[in-house]
Amino acid sequence: MSAAPSSGVPSPSPALDLPARPAARVPRLLEAMRSVGSGLELHSTLERICETAAALTGARYAALGVVAEDGDGLDDFVFRGVGTATARRIGRLPDGRKGLLGALIRDPEPVRLADLGEDPRVCGFPEHHPPMRGFLGVPIRVQGEIFGNLYLTEKRGGASFDDEDLDMVRVLATEAGIAIGNARLYEAAQQRERWIDGSVAVTTALLSGGDADDALQVVAEQTRRLSGSAAGIVLLPADEGGLEIVAVSADRPSNALGRVIGPENEIVAELLDGRAVFVEDAAADPRLATGPAGHYGPIMMLPLQSDGRVLGGLVTPRARGERPFTEAERALAVQFASQAALALKMAEAQRDRERLAVFEDRDRIARDLHDLVIQRLFSTGMMLESAQRRSLVPEVRDGVAKAVDALDVTIQEIRTAIFALQQEPSETPAGLRTRVLREITTAAVPLGFTPSYRFVGPVDSVVGDATGKNLIAALREALSNAFRHAGALRIDIVVDATVTLPDGRPGVRLTVADDGVGIPEGGRRSGLRNLRRRAESLGGDSRHGPGIGKDGGGTTVVWQAPH
């Protein structure tokens, strides 16, 4: 049989107007149609179409190419007949941008060839590809639009595909279009439901009042899971401008946590302006090729924006060679980012209210200390001094004098605490030592006592900004755990800037030891995971062990990282 060009195949008659001769094949066709429409999952539907078409026509090989949304090449390629090992040796799947497959995309009409090698549109086969001669290609339309093409090759017995095969496959393609349409609707509904559930999980995490780092990690994990990406990354505005990576969810450990991307970066500038950025191949984009994102393929970068205010950004990169994000995925991701931004804004307002309540409580405590405690101590001191003057026993006079001196020291310490309570964070110097003292003073209010502390080495001069910022966050986490979970009555803190890390680099070590109840079996470990994640992102580590209570009661947390 000679090759029939794509334009030479006559237009089909109505779908079921088959010639009389293949009437015996009608039951097989009906069974094939029933099989094709029996499922709702899209990829399995495409596989069933290939399998059914191959069985109906006796083809050794079948494939279905899904046309990309922009009409340029194939977005997916499902095949049957070629084994896994052979497919692996062949390598990359056809992209549909050239050759016969590309011609079928540009001119979606049925094509029947007796010998592929004789058609000028065929570019040849890659190495390890099985030989193929006879070919039948039929377009599949979904709701009037081209979805893809069904390809059949190598009819068993060496025969060529005939008119009856073409008619049968046309009918099957019509049914396949209906089945694919249903599967796409079902998949879209399922996809929307997953994104809605993810939005609920993010909102719950951000508004739960728990640890902020935990909540942001949930955002990263949900973003990655829902978008089917290799990583999920959350960025928030950095103090010095630009965006800081504050949460990362990925298969492999990442050292990106805490990295700041400056405002001079073009994409950061677009995100801060509230514009989403979609890149199909990061390696080919000059804005990304030189950075860590250059190792990825398609990327979505979405602003976390609410009421015109940009609160941060979400980044969802896929591995190199993965398919680009569809328009539906982009739209759902943008909606998810808007919902996450709204939840982030509400969580921020909630934290502001809680912070205001803390400040008000600190003011009240400061007033009580000044108006009540100091006055009573001062009065007690005056009474002791009066008793000292009236006493005739030298030992008593000396003992009273020491008690008065101790009261003076106590009054000075309380006045220092009052000053710290009344001080705004912005009024204190930015040195690491001062920031550590600020965290200790802040924690003293809910703890009911001031933890002891000690600094070793030139803490302010050798510890860098990124390490210092993460050390403060680790200290805050450790003190929060001691207050909320440990029930500690004593806490010792040491910041040592003279340590040498296991790999030989100079570093800083934070040690927080308490005499509380310790870490119960099966208890939450999110705080410890946060500490470890922060340390590892800087090239350090974090561990915990027995505390300073009786018989090792309580917990000691050791956090260290390079300067």
The widest CA-to-CA distance across the chain, in whole angstroms, is 133
> How far is it, in rounded angstroms, from Cα 256 to Cα 494?
27
More confident of the two residues 357 and 300:
300
Residue 14: what pLDDT?
A: 37
C-beta separation of 49 from 204 below 8 A: no
Mean pLDDT of 82-89: 85
Pairing of strands 491-500, 452-456: parallel
Per-residue pLDDT tens for 271-296? 988 999 998 888 788 777 666 666 78
**246: part of which helix (H) or strand (E)?**
strand 243-250
Q: How far is CA 248 from CA 243, 332, 532, in A?
A: 14, 21, 13
Residue 93: what pLDDT?
A: 80
**258 Rama sector, left if φ>0, alpha if ψ -120 to 50, beta otherwise:** left
Per-residue pLDDT tens for 530-552? 788 888 888 899 998 888 888 88
For 209, other C-beta atoms within 10 Å of its C-beta total 11
Q: Which long-range contacts (CB under 8 A, 24 or more apart) does 36-44 make?
A: 36/172, 36/175, 36/176, 36/179, 37/175, 37/178, 37/179, 37/182, 39/179, 39/183, 40/182, 40/183, 40/186, 40/187, 41/183, 41/186, 41/187, 42/180, 42/183, 42/184, 42/186, 42/187, 43/76, 43/78
Give the up-direction half-sphere exposure of residue 35: CA atoms within 13 A in the CB hemisphere: 18
DSSP one-letter code for 551: G
Residue 471 has pLDDT above 90, yes or no: yes
> How far is it, in rounded angstroms, from Cα 326 to Cα 255?
29
3-state helix, strand, coil in the chain (%, to 5): 50, 20, 30
Q: How confident is the model at residue 521 (pLDDT cuts 50, 70, 90)?
A: low
C-beta separation of 172 from 57 below 8 A: no
Q: How many residues does the chain have?
A: 563
List strand residue ranges (DSSP E) for 307-417, in order.
Answer: 309-319
Residue 314: what pLDDT?
A: 92
Q: How confident is the model at residue 7 (pLDDT cuts 50, 70, 90)?
A: very low
Q: How confident is the model at residue 23 (pLDDT cuts 50, 70, 90)?
A: low
Mean pLDDT of 332-340: 89
Residue whose token pair is 């500490």: 531
Task: Name the nearest CA neighbour of 486 among 519, 511, 510.
Answer: 519
More confident of the two residues 518 and 337:
337
Give the mean pLDDT of the chain: 80
Residue 21 has pLDDT above 70, yes or no: no
Mean pLDDT of 62-81: 83
The answer for residues whose C-beta is within 8 angstroms of residue 304's C-beta and 6 or more apart is 310, 311, 312, 313, 314, 337, 340, 341, 344
Q: Rounded to two decimals, what is the model's pTM?
A: 0.53
Residue 5: what pLDDT?
A: 41
Both tokens of residue 304? Answer: 């976390």
DSSP one-letter code for 524: -
Per-residue pLDDT tens for 236-276? 988 778 888 888 888 776 777 888 888 888 888 889 889 99
Per-residue pLDDT tens for 34-59? 666 566 677 788 888 888 888 888 89
> How far is it, in rounded angstroms, from Cα 47 to Cα 99?
23
Residue 419: what pLDDT?
A: 62
The SS3 call for residue 39 is coil
| Torsion angle (degrees, nearest 10) of CA 208, 209, 214, 219 | 50
Q: Which of 16-25, 497-506, 541-550 has the lowest mean pLDDT?
A: 16-25
The answer for residues whose C-beta is within 8 angstroms of residue 132's C-beta and 6 or more apart is 61, 116, 125, 153, 154
Q: How far is CA 489 from CA 78, 280, 546, in A?
A: 65, 56, 15
More confident of the two residues 130 and 359:
130
Q: How confident is the model at residue 11 (pLDDT cuts 50, 70, 90)?
A: very low
Residue 429: what pLDDT?
A: 47
